[in-house]
């Protein structure tokens, strides 16, 4: 996707800025023509006091400035946060900004700011082969799609067919109360209650959540807690050097299966459930071999219903750009 050359038919009103802002990374790109997304750069969010400064740092990069022959007019930002009204204050990072003030400071004619998982939901019909199926099931046409993904937090959304178009749900479903499915998960929940008054699904199904599961299982099993971080836990699980780490990843995958199954029956997502975020795609074959799919289908009388619902892992490197591009194009096409 990080192209260095672009088609001969660029947008008449100039390139468009696309951004995908998470609690850890701020990803930026330019769309020069429909589907021609390039100049992708990933900046560490912690390195910048504000989104405006990160955005301006991106635009000042020589390889980006070389493409821009005129000021940018249109921009679209997907952000890991609810977007209600003008003020955006991030849950998993310290950035806070006014959409109107940012638009004025950057000189944009158009600035669209949407929840990142709403944007990712709009990308689902455009993924093509950039996804990997886990388990069985066949997607039914013109039926809702479900989306969730674990990273810095737990994002949740859905894509609902509306005639010939789609409508994305601006959900904050990652903050639903976590519900254990077996005795081990109950022990993990009881450990988490010692730290948090409310234990949401996101508390466990996220980067920080993997570390919490690790400490909880170490306590439950009576073994040493080495206070490993998430990359170390994942690495040791994948290379087979740590039984406890492998149990952590297995617990994580099983919990995710339960939450994904909950989402499928809630939305009636017979078009399928998609798994995004930064964690699961890195697990590769370990995720496919985990209890995820069994737990996804484990809904008592609804096991046959869920067995027919496919689940996919999104393998596209920057899928949110596809969605936020489609949203911006739709807004500009309907603008007076």
CATH of the domain at 94: 3.30.420.40
- pLDDT (average), residues 30-46: 94
Are residues 89 and 212 part of one domain?
no
Are residues 193 and 275 part of one domain?
yes
Are residues 169 and 67 part of one domain?
no
b/e 107-146 (16+ beta carbons within 10 angstroms → b) = ebebbbbbbbbbbbbbbbeebeeebeebbebebeeebbbb
Q: Is residue 309 part of a domain?
A: yes
Are residues 281 and 151 part of one domain?
yes
Q: How many domains is the chain partitioned into structurally?
A: 2
Which residue did the predictor score with more confidence, 50 or 69?
50
Confidence check: pLDDT of 9 > 80: no
Is residue 251 within 8 A of residue 188, CB to CB? The reply is yes
pLDDT digits (tens, 9 = 90+) for 241-278: 999 999 999 999 999 999 999 999 999 999 999 999 88
Are residues 304 and 186 part of one domain?
yes
pLDDT at 37: 93
Q: Is residue 2 part of a domain?
A: no
Are residues 277 and 135 part of one domain?
yes
Q: What is the DSSP letter of 263?
A: H
pLDDT at 5: 46
Q: What percent of the chain has pLDDT over 90?
A: 80
pLDDT at 1: 43
- Owning domain of residue 278: 131-315
Which residue did the predictor score with more confidence, 12 or 140?
140
- pLDDT (average), residues 227-245: 97
Are residues 278 and 173 part of one domain?
yes
pLDDT interval class at 112 (50, 70, 90): very high
pLDDT at 7: 53
Q: Is residue 5 part of a domain?
A: no
pLDDT interval class at 183 (50, 70, 90): very high
Are residues 259 and 177 part of one domain?
yes
Confidence check: pLDDT of 58 > 70: yes
14-18, 242-246, 330-334: which range is least confident on average? 330-334
Instruction: Give the whole-angstrom CA distance, residue 279 versus residue 325.
Output: 24
Q: Is residue 8 part of a domain?
A: no
Instruction: Give the predicted TM-score (pTM) of the model.
Output: 0.84
Q: Is residue 126 part of a domain?
A: no
Are residues 197 and 102 part of one domain?
no
pLDDT digits (tens, 9 = 90+) for 135-173: 999 999 999 999 999 998 898 999 999 988 899 988 889
pLDDT interval class at 3 (50, 70, 90): very low
Are residues 269 and 165 part of one domain?
yes
Element (H, E) at 217: helix 207-221
- Mean pLDDT of the chain, nearest integer: 93
Are residues 262 and 164 part of one domain?
yes
pLDDT at 4: 42
Are residues 167 and 80 part of one domain?
no
Q: Is residue 31 part of a domain?
A: yes
CATH of the domain at 145: 3.40.367.20
Q: DSSP secondary structure string, 75-125? A: EEEEESS---SSEEE-SSSS-EEEHHHHHHHHT-SEEEEEEHHHHHHHHGG
């Amino acid at each position: 996707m990080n192209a260095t050359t672009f088609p001969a038919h660029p947008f008449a009103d100039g390139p468009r800025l696309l951004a995908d802002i998470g609690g850890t990374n701020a990803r930026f790109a330019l769309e020069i023509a429909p589907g021609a997304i390039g100049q992708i750069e990933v900046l560490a969010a912690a390195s910048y006091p504000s989104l405006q400064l990160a955005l301006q740092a991106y635009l000042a990069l020589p390889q980006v400035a070389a493409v821009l022959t005129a000021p940018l007019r249109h921009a679209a930002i997907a952000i890991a946060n609810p977007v209600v009204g003008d003020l955006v204050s991030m849950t998993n990072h310290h950035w806070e900004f006014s959409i109107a003030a940012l638009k004025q400071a950057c000189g944009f004619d158009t600035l669209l700011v949407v929840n990142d998982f709403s944007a990712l939901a709009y990308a689902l019909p455009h993924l093509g082969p950039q996804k990997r199926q886990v388990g069985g099931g066949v997607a039914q046409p013109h039926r809702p799609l479900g989306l969730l993904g674990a990273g810095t937090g737990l994002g949740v959304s859905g894509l609902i067919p509306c005639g010939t178009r789609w409508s994305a749900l601006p959900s904050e479903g990652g903050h639903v109360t976590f519900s254990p499915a077996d005795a081990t998960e109950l022990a993990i929940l009881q450990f988490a209650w010692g730290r948090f008054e409310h234990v949401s699904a996101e508390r466990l199904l996220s980067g920080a959540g993997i570390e919490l599961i690790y400490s909880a299982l170490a306590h439950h099993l009576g073994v040493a807690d080495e206070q490993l971080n998430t990359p170390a836990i994942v690495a040791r699980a994948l290379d087979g050097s740590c039984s406890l780490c492998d149990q952590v990843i297995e617990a994580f995958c099983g919990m995710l299966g339960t939450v994904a199954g909950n989402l499928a029956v809630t939305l009636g997502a017979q078009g399928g459930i998609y798994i995004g975020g930064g964690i699961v795609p890195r697990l590769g074959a370990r995720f496919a071999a985990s209890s995820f799919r069994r737990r996804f289908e484990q809904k008592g009388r609804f096991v046959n219903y869920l067995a027919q619902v496919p689940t996919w892992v999104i393998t596209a490197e920057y899928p949110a750009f596809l969605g936020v591009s489609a949203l911006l194009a739709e807004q500009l096409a309907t603008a007076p």
